[in-house]
Chains A and B, each alone.
Chain A
């Protein structure tokens, strides 16, 4: 069992401990409503807000603890500007886990003339979503009737947790509609809870008394999602309710975290006799330290059954109620969890004389930059690192499809914290080069006189492409695998007909994944009078440019660098020849950071066209682009789309001017 908790568990967990003697009941006052101000009645959308259907005028949370419980009182005031917002905001829900209680839930409507109407209790219902013998997960739903554009909605409730928080928690304060003012008041809390915030430039923190403090954030724009955008914690304003003392020296936080990592991981690397023997045998004759590491890596991935990528009864039984076996035992059992395999790898390295340590890592799915004092809370994973003559290198053989020398894309480009008993050191996980994640399609295809295209295709997926596909499909039924291939192809070519589908090297990491199938596209050729049009970018012929929106708010992030290569040979229909067998001019940006190039060779006599298209993105690790570069990037991808959908004209041979073969490279 991996002792390092995933981020959500880590952030959500709250242990219970004894606390204050104040009674919660005394604080559960009946609801009182905030005064209706002329400003609220007259409120118009905040300047700069893009067509908001509604806006949060203020949102307030007050956290207190009493009698062993923790309570957050919420008060929200929302102005409805347009009727379309009612469907979403006129119905709200509040979820409770097995130890939470929603109390004092009440709502009212303030009409534009200042009159108010309380939402009747009959419009508030509690549902038990899930019930097991020991736990209940419930939800309260509230419907606000009679809501119209121009109205204001006040909603208040309290969330009571039957225990004190003993772990830190996040709250997003930026929402899908603008928030004019957000307040978080930290009240009487016997434990040390502190407030931190990020992505909130207008935040103001004020100590109200020795026990109470107030955080105010104003003018939060609506949080909108865009394609290829950064991770949510890189963008979205949030507050962090910190359990424990506020760090006096931010650097110390990382030192403490590095030490904690060291303490929990250090004893996982065993170099008993079995491990030493295995390391010695594996390393025998290796010409370089890289060769040694590769052999250890391959051994861990292929000689040890990874129970997280195996569904045999033995592996299923192994997983049940399992804790942790050290490397020597794993060698004997020839079976282990991803964490045990990582530990075995580190142990073999250590036995071979390499310094090893765990690293704590964040996911780029959550956050990219952890270098701030509360960044430790985003460390959700761990991997072994090995010190080589070139420096520390991070490995993850426990992820069965991951090739040697690569990290998951979610870890690439992030700084990971090295376990150390004395100091905090970070290592940057390098980004794989585009050529490490190739996607190659090859085929010999026949264009029929009727306009269909037909032939055998082989797709090979390497690097991240293969890791993602294998991770998703490794345990699919044969039919599900076929369906996955069909879905993949039909996403690019809606009318594609596939048969003889095979998937090769499904559970593997050294060699690319191979998808083979017979492809037929009945409506491939476009009719243009006496002439015909073909688009040799078979898998891109129906593609649209990647970006459509005129404006962009967030920077653009591609998950990883990759390259694509299409190599097709077309047998053109008899009686036709290419009118203008010229390849489109290549495009590239930033010295090849992103590039697309096509070469063509045309054998007029044989009626054959050779087509090669190469695309590459992310050379030198450039996979992130600022929002200010969006306009250029959009145009670039439109030009790439133009190349990928490039049309060639087939004309009847009778009207051909010359039959001279032409080499197409411009």
Chain B
């Protein structure tokens, strides 16, 4: 089920649950919130948070009891979609103890949402076979402008490891956000604010109550090319006194602790069975070169289907893979399952390897200063290379020697390479010898995101065009191209090319497509032949206007003309395209002047030349990878606008025989 459909389904269920009865009176705190005057102007979202309180009480066993008090005001009818309250939980590990909500109008409760109206929904998407992850929530669709919706939710959690991350960044502006932590006497609260400004707590004299308060936080806007991480997080580690650690609460004082804990829950899962031994033997049969063996086994692991089985997530926090033998038999798994299977298979083939916990989505998101498994959302494998394969090493690790990393989830990225979203990021080798985070190597952008196009066009006097495109992709783009060739039928591929070409070449029909992948799978070549009548526009039969941006139109990203609040994560672009076209008989071309733009963000060139009866347009665009701070956004956008403007060129061909 797509995310959109899921959201709609939830909305329908939640909306259906709004025919609420009138039960308990609203609590005093909510009545007080409802009396607060509305803001003078309606916010962008049409709603604001009045209060978002979270009180966490930790008991001697390390169990967290979270009590949420939440109130929001609908400022405009369009903001009613924000009138909901929900909390995630893990089935069998966590418990929703209390859930109640109220709709307040003119300071009085007009609707109560008791248990009957709340909806318990699975957090499940297409790639999940089973999931313990759920969400308990209620939505109010009957709120009018000016109404206040709020509620209380109590969840008892055993699914954490004495650590938690609490976001101060909300999709709505929030007047008051408060986090209050109560711990038993002698327990320690370690904290830090990730991303964003510090927020020092108030601490009670006996060190058992810690309170953070953030006032008047602006809404966290959704922006394109931004990190998925909230921009302001409070990270907590709650530790018992020495010698009083409950069995269920592992120590997370250092990365070594985290690695040790992960190793402890993961290592027993890397089992071996005769079937597994036989699979490793079959995959490497006849191969002497250790790198070839490694390639064969990693390809096998990468080809297993990606399916999550999120069972018993309270135990192992979702970081424990299924047994390798189970995954081999089932023939599917998620990132940690597939990496763990790969680890077992490699071991049978004589390789040492280790699971690596990582964060996928933002290379800079992992905070070295906060040792915690909760920072990870992905698992890959680090493979120690024997001397005969050491030349393929991506990294020479001081502890593990020459190694390569392999992401079994990225099916089309071959051994020796990593998906771009991991490159330059950090991970934790889940092995007792690991003492800190390891940095994944980053390949140069031009090797990873390069596309070179050669387009040959032949134009007849009536404007009909016959063309051939040779497009060579390199690196991550080659992987993408191979995945498309695999997933799409030839008809669908032709339709895709039609859509691409149609932006520039009107009435085009694709005649043939051919593909060729390089032996190392890191380069891919496509050849497309097409025809298009009426390509050249005839202006009063004296001149032709030719647009030669056959594949590059709309290839420059466009960003909205409004202030940016979050850093922009830029992937590299390295494109070279050369388009050549023959001149009609007696045609005289008027060529635009060459253009070159250079800035800290990238480099652009565009140049035409006429020789031997052909016009050739060569265009290069390089966009540097990186993280662009919001204050540099305007300059970055301007560079792209300048490129877009420089691209707006055409050739005028005078058909008057050179007059």
Contact = CB atoms under 8 A, between A and B. Distances in A.
A120 B328 CA distance: 13
A125 B128 CA distance: 10
Interface in B355-374: none
Interface string B486-526: 11111100010011001100111100000000000000000
Contacts of B17: 132
Interface in A120-163: 120, 122-123, 125-134, 137, 141, 143, 145-146
A133 B115 contact: yes
B142 A320 contact: yes
A84 interface: yes
A495 B539 contact: no
Contacts, number: 207
Name the residue among B126, B307, B647 with the largest chain A CB count within 10 angstroms.
B307
Contacts of A530: 590
Contact of A548 (B76, B147, B488, B495): B495
A53 B489 CA distance: 8
A646 B143 CA distance: 51
Contacts of B509: 550
Contacts of A311: 77, 80, 144-145
A544 B645 CA distance: 20
B399 interface: no
Contact of A312 (B126, B144, B554): B144
A526 B652 CA distance: 11
A526 B648 contact: yes
A130 B120 contact: yes
A84 B648 contact: no
Contacts of B508: 548
Interface stretch (B41-49, B157-165, B339-347, B471-479): B41-49
B218 interface: no
A523 B641 contact: yes
Interface in B298-345: 305, 307, 309, 326, 329-332
Interface string B137-166: 000001111110000000000000000000
Contact of B488 (A84, A582, A646): A84
B650 interface: yes
B650 A533 contact: yes
A309 to B, nearest CB: 10
A247 B642 CA distance: 70
Interface stretch (A257-265, A342-350, A470-478, A509-517): A470-478
A635 B590 contact: no
B452 to A, nearest CB: 24
A313 interface: yes
Contact of B502 (A123, A316, A544): A544
B545 A523 contact: no
A25 interface: no
Interface string B117-149: 111111010101111000000000011111100
A125 B124 CA distance: 12
Contacts of A187: none
Contact of B507 (A143, A146, A526, A638): A638
B330 A90 contact: no
Nearest to B106: A313
Contacts of A321: 19
Nearest to B486: A84
B78 A480 contact: yes
Contacts of B506: 544-545, 638, 641-642
A366 interface: no
B543 interface: yes
Interface in A88-137: 90-91, 120, 122-123, 125-134, 137
Nearest to B130: A125
A86 B306 CA distance: 12
A635 B507 contact: yes
Contact of A529 (B42, B307, B542, B592): B592
The contact size tier of chain B is: 35 or more
A494 interface: yes
A229 B471 CA distance: 33
Contacts of A51: 489-491
Contact of B645 (A129, A451, A545, A634): A451
B226 to A, nearest CB: 17
Nearest to B331: A145
A486 B79 contact: no
A8 to B, nearest CB: 12
Given A123-B330, A320-B142, A475-B78, A133 B116 contact: yes
B543 A548 contact: no
A629 interface: no
Interface string A302-324: 00000000011100100111000
A479 B45 contact: yes
B593 A549 contact: no
A129 B121 contact: yes
A649 interface: yes
A224 to B, nearest CB: 10
A547 B144 CA distance: 44
B561 interface: yes
B560 to A, nearest CB: 7
Nearest to B608: A529
B42 to A, nearest CB: 6
B649 interface: yes
Nearest to A452: B645
Contact of A494 (B76, B122, B558): B558
A523 B116 contact: no
A91 B307 contact: yes
Contacts of B495: 548-549
Nearest to B309: A125
Contacts of B542: 580
Contacts of A531: 590, 652
B156 to A, nearest CB: 18
A480 B561 contact: no
A130 B590 contact: no
A77 to B, nearest CB: 21
Contacts of B488: 84
Interface in B518-566: 534, 537, 539-540, 542-543, 545, 554, 558, 560-561
Contacts of A133: 115-116, 118
Given A82-B489, A530-B590, 6 more contacts: A84-B489, A128-B120, A143-B129, A145-B305, A527-B650, A642-B534
Interface of A: 50-51, 53, 82-84, 86-87, 90-91, 120, 122-123, 125-134, 137, 141, 143, 145-146, 311-313, 316, 319-321, 451, 475-480, 486, 490, 494-495, 497-498, 522-531, 533, 542, 544-545, 548-550, 580, 582, 634-635, 638, 641-642, 646-647, 649
Interface of B: 9-10, 13, 17, 19, 42-46, 75-80, 105, 115-122, 124, 126, 128-131, 142-147, 305, 307, 309, 326, 329-332, 486-491, 495, 498-499, 502-503, 506-509, 534, 537, 539-540, 542-543, 545, 554, 558, 560-561, 590-593, 641, 644-652
17 contacts: A50-B489, A83-B486, A87-B487, A122-B326, A125-B309, A128-B120, A129-B122, A131-B119, A132-B118, A321-B19, A478-B76, A490-B558, A522-B641, A526-B648, A527-B593, A548-B502, A550-B498
A-B pairs with lowest CB-CB distance, top 5? A145-B331, A311-B77, A477-B46, A479-B44, A477-B78
